[in-house]
């Protein structure tokens, strides 16, 4: 496609009936007509009142036709011109925000027309590159920041961590710090974040490199974290020397609550399915697996934890079968769960998943017959 040159050839001044001429140009497929249309619209932009509510319906129609039918280069030029306009039609701005990322980027970065609802729609409907641009947007609201945190995609999270102007709540910043446990790219921007407090800094300190540790130690007067690291290493060494494998992960109450809320949001959005359980384990998120199993199976957390600590994998198999996980998937899933859970469930008993498929109803009954309400000690 031939690039469109957008030199200023002298702005059109089309009062009155000339606006109808522009609408006619908008329906033309001629490259020359499209360039004339763009320059005419730009001239109207320069002369127009300051709010989008003042635009005439005809001018709004011109903008929308142009955005839907114009070539890539014209849409890109229009996006750059409208990025800071306070009068641009909201419908047009939203079309450009969902366009190819080269077109959408100026709008996502600067347009004052975009509201929180528009940005939330971009997070759901558009590409990962669009989500990153939303996370970088200056003065991003806490509501949109929370939505990025709920989605938990690494690249947008990293962009959000580096956005010092975003209105991230204290809880949101704490969630970012927790994400940095598994996402190394978050650590450097978080270590420099102006609203990082001492409690978060101490949590982050044990995961970052030497250079960042030195600057954080000076900023927050952290002196005792190295001892905590030494204690953790000693515990790991003790477990290994005793042939006990990896110690079970400590329960992080804040992390657990985050996992519970995310699962409930997924359920409310109709996105919580059996495949999410498998994905959670593959991403090494045992807490998410537990909460998703509770919700999908209608179990109590005590029952799910009983499955994970039982001396056989039978109860866990019944729980997985009850929510629709295929028995062929269970053996590799069991292996990964044992790695995350420090060993359990145990290896006693028979491989009941080899006996044949169970209906979800039969599996749920078998589970409750085996462990009851989950409060009794494992057999």
Mean pLDDT is lowest, of 13-27, 257-271, 288-302, for 13-27
d(CA 379, CA 361): 23
State which H helix or E strand residue 57 sits in.
Answer: helix 57-69
d(CA 121, CA 286): 30
d(CA 235, CA 143): 40
pLDDT for 56 equals 65
d(CA 171, CA 353): 42
pLDDT for 204 equals 82
Q: How confident is the model at residue 308 (pLDDT cuts 50, 70, 90)?
A: very high
Tens digit of each residue's pLDDT (9 = 90 or more) over 314-343: 999 999 999 999 888 898 899 899 999 888
pLDDT for 235 equals 45
Would you list the DSSP string of 155-216? HHHHHHHT-TTS---HHHHHHHHHHTTT-GGGHHHHHT-TT--HHHHHHHHTTS-HHHHHHH
End-to-end CA, the chain: 72
Tens digit of each residue's pLDDT (9 = 90 or more) over 36-93: 776 676 666 666 555 555 666 766 776 777 667 677 887 888 889 889 888 888 888 9
d(CA 133, CA 126): 11
Q: What's the mean pLDDT in 258-283?
A: 89
Q: How confident is the model at residue 374 (pLDDT cuts 50, 70, 90)?
A: confident
pTM exceeds cut of 0.75: no
């Amino acid at each position: 496609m031939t690039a469109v040159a957008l030199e200023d050839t002298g702005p059109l001044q089309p009062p009155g009936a000339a606006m109808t001429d522009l609408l006619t140009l908008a329906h033309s497929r001629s490259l020359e007509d499209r360039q004339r249309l763009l320059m005419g619209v730009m001239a109207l932009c320069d002369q127009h009142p300051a709010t989008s509510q003042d635009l005439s319906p005809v001018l709004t129609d011109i903008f929308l036709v142009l955005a839907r039918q114009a070539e890539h280069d014209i849409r890109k030029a229009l996006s750059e011109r409208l990025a800071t306009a306070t009068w641009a039609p909201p419908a047009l701005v939203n079309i450009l925000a969902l366009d190819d990322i080269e077109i959408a980027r100026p709008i996502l970065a600067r347009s004052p027309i975009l509201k929180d609802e528009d940005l939330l729609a971009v997070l759901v409907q558009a590409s990962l590159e669009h989500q990153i641009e939303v996370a970088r947007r200056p003065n991003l609201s806490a509501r949109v920041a929370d939505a990025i945190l709920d989605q938990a995609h690494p690249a947008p999270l990293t962009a959000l961590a580096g956005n010092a102007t975003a209105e991230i709540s204290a809880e949101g910043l704490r969630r970012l710090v927790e994400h940095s446990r598994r996402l190394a790219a978050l650590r450097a921007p978080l270590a420099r974040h102006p609203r990082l407090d001492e409690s978060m800094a101490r949590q982050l300190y044990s995961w970052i490199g030497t250079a960042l540790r030195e600057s954080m130690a000076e900023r927050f007067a952290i002196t005792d974290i190295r001892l905590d690291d030494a204690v953790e290493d000693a515990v790991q060494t003790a477990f290994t020397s005793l042939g006990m494998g990896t110690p079970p992960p400590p329960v992080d109450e804040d992390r657990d609550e985050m996992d519970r809320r995310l699962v409930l949001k997924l359920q409310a959005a109709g996105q919580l399915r059996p495949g999410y359980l498998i994905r959670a384990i593959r991403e090494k998120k045992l807490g998410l697996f537990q909460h998703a199993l509770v919700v999908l199976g209608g179990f109590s957390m005590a029952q799910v934890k009983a499955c994970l600590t039982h001396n056989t994998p039978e109860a866990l198999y019944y729980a997985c079968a009850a929510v629709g996980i295929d028995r062929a998937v269970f053996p590799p899933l069991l292996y990964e769960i044992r790695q995350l859970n420090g060993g359990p469930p145990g290896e006693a008993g028979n491989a009941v998943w080899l006996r044949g498929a169970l209906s979800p109803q039969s599996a749920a009954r078998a589970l409750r017959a085996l462990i009851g309400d989950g409060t009794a000690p494992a057999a």
